[in-house]
Amino acid sequence: MQLKLVNEKFLKETVRMKIVEVTYHDENDKHILTHTIIRSKPSVGIIVREKEKIVFIKEFRSTTGTYCIEIPAGLIENKESIEDAAKRETREETGLVISNIKNLIKCPSYMDISVSDENFHVCLGDVIAKKEKCLDENEVISNELIYLSLEEVLERLNKQLYENIPFYDNLYLNSHAIYSLLAYFNYQKYLENKN
């Protein structure tokens, strides 16, 4: 069955997203569904490496009312490249300056397609300098940077996923970070197999 969008009604807009109501009909113009969805700006998560370790942050999330363990991440601004957004977000959230930035995901990555069209990219970058972090006004991120080896990350991730043990400091790693780590681990295997 082919569905066509026949109406998109604007409900609310924020800096990050637009909330709209969409209506789809079939090829005979019969109403099939109406849903409220989020039209989101694309975003990027960054696997930041420094001296064989991956950098994590503690960020407060108003949706859960608690901190989560995350990787640096954020919106891609208008006319900004994925790599430039990765560099900017890493600097803003950690104070770290990165180079050798590589976009790991070449296809669309819709993280919660049941409610949002957010396309989430994953980049890899290496630390070359440290400066002051400069958070957006609505961000609450701890000053502590967490450095974990690849082995520690895998062990902690497995314990979180399969034993319900928090990832670090009694806090859970969020799903965007988990997806990013899986992309990173698979990218390394992909390169090994390609050579």
| pLDDT, tens only, 88-130 | 999 999 999 999 999 999 888 888 888 898 899 999 999 999 9
Check pLDDT > 90 for residue 147: yes
Amino acid at 128: I
pTM for the model: 0.90
pLDDT at residue 136, rounded to an integer: 84
> Percent of the chain having pLDDT more than 70?
100
pLDDT level of residue 1 (50, 70, 90 thresholds): confident
Domains and CATH numbers, the chain: 3-40 (no CATH), 43-194 (3.90.79.10)
pLDDT at 68 over 90: yes
- Nearest CA to 138 out of 14, 10, 55 is that of 14
d(CA 92, CA 68): 18
* Nearest C-alpha neighbor of 180 from the set 31, 72, 32, 58: 72
The distance from CA 118 to its chain's CA centroid, rounded to whole angstroms, is 10
Bridge-based pairing of strands 53-61 and 146-149 is antiparallel
Rg of the chain on CA atoms, in Å: 19
**Distance between CA atoms of residues 165 and 178, nearest Å:** 15
Mean of pLDDT over the chain: 94
| Contact status, residue 48 vs residue 98, Cβ threshold 8 Å | yes
